[in-house]
Amino acid sequence: MGSLLPFQDLNLLPDAPSSATGAIALKVPKLEPKTEPFDETFASQLHEPQTHQLQEAQVPQDPFFPNLSPNSQQQQLALFSEQGFGHSPISQTSAMSSDENNVYSEFHRISELFRTAFSKQNGGALPDSHPDSRAIVPVPEQNQVAEVIIPRKRTQRSAELVRVTNLGIEDERYFRNVVRRTRMTFDSLRVLSAAEEEKKQGLGLGTRRMRGDLRASSVMKDRDLWLNRDKRIVGSIPGVYIGDLFFFRMELCVVGLHGQVQAGIDYVPASQSSNGEPIATSVIVSGGYEDDEDAGDVIIYTGHGGQNKFNKQCCHQKLEGGNLALERSMLYGIEVRVIRGIKYPGSITANAKVYVYDGLYRIMDCWFDVGKSGFGVYKYKLVRIDGQPEMGSSVLKFATSLRTKPLALRPVGYLSLDISRQKENYPVLLFNNIDSDQEPLYYDYLVRTVFPPFAYHQSGNGTGCECTSSCAEDCFCAMKNGGEFAYDSNGLLLRGKPVVFECGPFCRCPPQCRNRVTQHGLKNRLEVFRSMETGWGVRSLDLIHAGAFICEYTGVVLTREQAHVISMNGDNLVYPQRFSDRWAEWGDLSQIFADYVRPAYPPVPPLDFAIDVSKMRNVACYMTHSSSPNVMVQFVLYDHNNLMFPHLMLFAMENIPPLRELSLDYGVAEEWTPKLSICN
């Protein structure tokens, strides 16, 4: 007990009893004597906090670690399922030839997989009690129908409470990757489902509404891909950081941050709790209750219930369910996760809402009050625990005002409000409030990479599409991308590829064509900033959606021979082929479809050039290296067809909150600092 256990060991002992793995099963002790239930009689004593009585009856000691002071809980958790992160080997069934691949629309194939999976899931021919669901899946290379077993598991949530503390760096990274991969799958399925529905409607078939979020979560639940279902976690969820952004309630369920689809209070129910009392784990402050008062660090949170379907308070709330759980959590001093649902215009959803994880709060007070409606409501005073990173929601607000009046909010530190000098669509700010370094000011800003002239001449000219209005799926450029476009209608990258072919000057389609994304340049206000830890870094003042294009990695292209000469002088060169193949993770659905095979894209020759950023550069070269990055490289061609010289385009690998540092996996050992050392 108490020793730091690397997750690798835990993986070896997934079913071992908790004592053997160092896990701490949090047992709620029996209350002796049992306190008075908190009931409607308090309604007669309005505004009188009734907690002192309860606190006296119960020492405010952590019931889960009765022998420890609250500050010495150095234990390492425990027991995480491997679910969703098994390295599922991509099945090596007969790979399609490149020609077949071009003819057969990859998109269509995935849609089919999706459709058949759904038709089974929604009843289909099999009784629900059947342990497996047998989806009928078309196998393109044989043009026949094959049966693939897709596991159908709908496991119940566990009631065992655990708290996760002091994860090592490796563990943090591991869980972060699990969470990211899970969210990537969710997003892929969601978008796919929406596209599928759109298609059906185009054919005059589908009449159902599009709820990609619901369908994605449902499929993932069938595949047992929801996270943290085998334990109920009190406190922070491994792999989820304060400030992380979510666009759907379902997404919160899938990662295990909040397990209620609609309700604002998530809790371990009394019936499953070890002492027969419910314990709250998380709340969502969504603005749905008129009696809520949100002051950031302190929230007056209203319990749930008592509303009619128009969200109007129509009767008294009762101390049951989540309301009782919050009260019990207060009694035991158990912290709750707080997620805020706030209006944010940059959100992709129709209601323009975003959910922000804001960290842990303690319930300090609880009373029964008369709400604005005149009906009785339960109120809870939540106070944010000290020592946590800044709240995501306040960062969001700060960034919003920073966009319009940077100098008012940060009078000191801005060296430039646009180092691109209006060469980019959006300004690139330069901020340093740490030291006197001004280096980024002294370089020529290069918006697009400069390729040598022969790169253009060597490529086959005139291979563009003939679409006059908008490009459709039978467009020549779609074929070049394996029968599908790389982007959805919002310009988000759907699936990573060795190379993405955008429409370009050889095409007849207009500039607004959906297959032109990266060539239009920046979509966000970026900021180069100085930090103690990483020197120069890059962050965005806007929220960047997962899959969104951020910027190009620009510089002057050098051939191998030129690079060899230049590097003798010790200049900084970037080698494109060194970037790790993160694109392969993007849109990978092998976890979902048993026979999912990544399409055999046309082979891409190894890239044999270097990018010199010693004189001309753009914002990208200030990005920090990370082996758990939030930005990835996707090679893109648009202004020529030379596979040897693609553009290095950077895309977001997750929803990146404003002001969070962007990082890139330069694909090299940690000791090599790929980010330019500007100081020397």
Nearest approach, Cβ of residue 95 and DNA (Å): 35
Out of 84, 243, 321, 629, the only residue in the binding site for DNA (CB under 7 A) is 321
Nearest to 162, CA basis, from 268, 39, 61, 277:
268
β-pair partners for 633: 650
Given a contact cutoff of 8 angstroms between Cβ atoms, the answer to whether 536 and 622 are in contact is yes
Nearer to DNA, 1 or 350 (CB): 350
Q: Is 185 in the site for DNA (CB under 7 A)?
A: no
Out of 124, 138, 288, 498, the only residue in the binding site for DNA (CB under 7 A) is 288
How many residues belong to the site for DNA (CB under 7 A)? Answer: 49
* Residue 460, φ and ψ in degrees, nearest 5: -65, 125
Nearest approach, Cβ of residue 593 and DNA (Å): 19
Q: In Å, what is the CA distance from 171 to each residue of 238, 516, 671? A: 8, 39, 20
Out of 31, 270, 300, 584, the only residue in the binding site for DNA (CB under 7 A) is 270
Q: What is the dihedral of CA 439, 440, 444, 450, to 10 degrees?
A: 120
Q: Is 309 in the site for DNA (CB under 7 A)?
A: yes
Nearer to DNA, 19 or 349 (CB): 349
Six-digit token string for 36: 């008075």
Nearer to DNA, 194 or 446 (CB): 194
Given a contact cutoff of 8 angstroms between Cβ atoms, the answer to whether 265 and 286 are in contact is no
Q: Is 188 in the site for DNA (CB under 7 A)?
A: no
Nearer to DNA, 208 or 564 (CB): 208
Given a contact cutoff of 8 angstroms between Cβ atoms, the answer to whether 163 and 74 are in contact is no
Q: Are strands 500-501 and 631-637 parallel, antiparallel or unpaired?
A: parallel
Q: Are strands 279-285 and 265-268 parallel, antiparallel or unpaired?
A: antiparallel
**Cα three-residue angle 583-587-592, rounded to 5 degrees:** 140
Helix crossing, 212-222 with 169-202: angle to 10°?
A: 120
Nearest approach, Cβ of residue 307 and DNA (Å): 5
Nearer to DNA, 461 or 490 (CB): 490
Q: Is 217 in the site for DNA (CB under 7 A)?
A: yes
Out of 112, 172, 292, 320, the only residue in the binding site for DNA (CB under 7 A) is 320
Q: Is 126 in the site for DNA (CB under 7 A)?
A: no
Nearest approach, Cβ of residue 185 and DNA (Å): 15
Nearer to DNA, 58 or 286 (CB): 286
CB neighbours of 436 closer than 8 A, spacing ≥ 6?
none
Q: Is 282 in the site for DNA (CB under 7 A)?
A: no
Phi-psi region of 28 (alpha: psi -120 to 50; beta: other; left: phi over 0): beta
Six-digit token string for 521: 């340049």
Nearest approach, Cβ of residue 371 and DNA (Å): 13
Nearer to DNA, 62 or 266 (CB): 266
Element (H, E) at 362: strand 353-370
Interacting positions 528-557 with DNA (CB under 7 A): none
Nearest approach, Cβ of residue 159 and DNA (Å): 8
Nearer to DNA, 197 or 484 (CB): 197
Strand intervals (E) in 388-457: 414-416, 428-431, 444-445
CB neighbours of 669 closer than 8 A, spacing ≥ 6?
none
Nearest approach, Cβ of residue 251 and DNA (Å): 8
Helix crossing, 169-202 with 106-121: angle to 10°?
A: 90
Place of tokens 């960047």: 544
β-pair partners for 609: 559
Exposure string over 7-21, b if 16+ CB within 10 A, otherwise e = beebeeeeeeebeeb
Element (H, E) at 189: helix 169-202
* Binding characters for DNA, 239-268, by CB under 7 A (x = yes): --------xxxx--x-----xxxxxx-xxx
Out of 109, 304, 539, 545, the only residue in the binding site for DNA (CB under 7 A) is 304
Q: Is 37 in the site for DNA (CB under 7 A)?
A: no
The stretch near DNA (CB under 7 A) out of 83-91, 270-278, 360-368, 480-488 is 270-278
Q: In angstroms, rounded to a whole number, what is the distance separating the alpha carbons of residues 583 and 631?
A: 10
Nearest approach, Cβ of residue 130 and DNA (Å): 13
What is residue 104's three-state secondary structure? Answer: coil
Nearest to 621, CA basis, from 443, 402, 413:
443
Q: Is 278 in the site for DNA (CB under 7 A)?
A: yes
Nearer to DNA, 67 or 351 (CB): 351
Q: Is 84 in the site for DNA (CB under 7 A)?
A: no
Nearer to DNA, 305 or 537 (CB): 305
The stretch near DNA (CB under 7 A) out of 175-183, 204-212, 422-430, 612-620 is 204-212
Nearest approach, Cβ of residue 360 and DNA (Å): 20
Handedness of CA 390, 394, 396, 400 (dihedral sign): negative
Q: Is 212 in the site for DNA (CB under 7 A)?
A: yes
Nearer to DNA, 282 or 572 (CB): 282
Nearest approach, Cβ of residue 501 and DNA (Å): 29
What is residue 283's three-state secondary structure? Answer: strand
Nearer to DNA, 348 or 450 (CB): 348
Nearest approach, Cβ of residue 544 and DNA (Å): 19
Interacting positions 343-382 with DNA (CB under 7 A): 349-351, 353
Six-digit token string for 108: 């269509």
Q: How many CB atoms neighbour CB 489 within 10 A? A: 11
Given a contact cutoff of 8 angstroms between Cβ atoms, the answer to whether 616 and 556 are in contact is yes
Q: Is 284 in the site for DNA (CB under 7 A)?
A: yes
Q: Is 140 in the site for DNA (CB under 7 A)?
A: no
Q: Is 157 in the site for DNA (CB under 7 A)?
A: yes
Q: Is 576 in the site for DNA (CB under 7 A)?
A: no
Q: Is 341 in the site for DNA (CB under 7 A)?
A: yes
The stretch near DNA (CB under 7 A) out of 59-67, 71-79, 281-289, 541-549 is 281-289
Q: In angstroms, rounded to a whole number, what is the distance separating the alpha carbons of residues 392 and 203?
A: 43
* Binding characters for DNA, 645-674, by CB under 7 A (x = yes): ------------------------------
Nearest approach, Cβ of residue 157 and DNA (Å): 5
Nearer to DNA, 210 or 566 (CB): 210
Nearer to DNA, 191 or 550 (CB): 191
CB neighbours of 412 closer than 8 A, spacing ≥ 6?
433
Nearer to DNA, 358 or 612 (CB): 358
Nearest approach, Cβ of residue 278 and DNA (Å): 6
Q: Is 210 in the site for DNA (CB under 7 A)?
A: yes
CB neighbours of 112 closer than 8 A, spacing ≥ 6?
137, 138
Q: In angstroms, rounded to a whole number, what is the distance separating the alpha carbons of residues 578 and 636?
A: 16
Q: Is 218 in the site for DNA (CB under 7 A)?
A: yes
Nearer to DNA, 334 or 455 (CB): 334
Handedness of CA 483, 487, 488, 489 (dihedral sign): negative
Element (H, E) at 531: strand 526-531
Q: In angstroms, rounded to a whole number, what is the distance separating the alpha carbons of residues 661 and 527?
A: 10
Q: Which residues bind DNA (CB under 7 A)?
A: 156-157, 208-215, 217-218, 221, 247-250, 253, 259-264, 266-272, 278, 284, 286, 288-289, 304-307, 309, 311, 320-321, 341, 349-351, 353
